[in-house]
């Protein structure tokens, strides 16, 4: 197989991945939080107060749906 074809495929996959991360950045956070239990996901992260964490979660209702109920 020609080495250029392999390089084009790798470059295309990298560009595709970068586009996904650029246009859907919240999905990365959702994927990281998907394995956490509800208590760990809903509790304030370091550097956030309780109120500021609730405000942050309200900006991402698709990610923190369970916490906002």
Residue 31 is assigned to a structural domain of this protein: no
Phi, psi of 47 (to 5 degrees): 95, -5
Q: What is the pLDDT along the chain (69 residues), one digit of tens a residue?
A: 689 999 999 999 999 999 988 888 777 666 665 655 566 778 888 888 989 988 988 888 887 888 887
Cα atoms in the 13 Å half-sphere on the side-chain side of 32:
5
Q: Are residues 69 and 41 in the same domain?
A: yes
Domain hosting 14: range is 1-25
Q: Are residues 21 and 47 in the same domain?
A: no
């Amino acid at each position: 197989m020609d080495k250029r074809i392999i390089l084009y495929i790798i470059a295309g996959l990298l560009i595709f991945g970068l586009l996904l991360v650029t246009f859907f950045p919240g999905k990365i956070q959702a994927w990281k939080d998907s394995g956490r239990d509800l208590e760990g996901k809903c509790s304030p992260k370091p550097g956030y107060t309780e109120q500021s964490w609730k405000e942050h979660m309200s900006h991402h209702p698709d990610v923190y749906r369970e916490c906002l109920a």
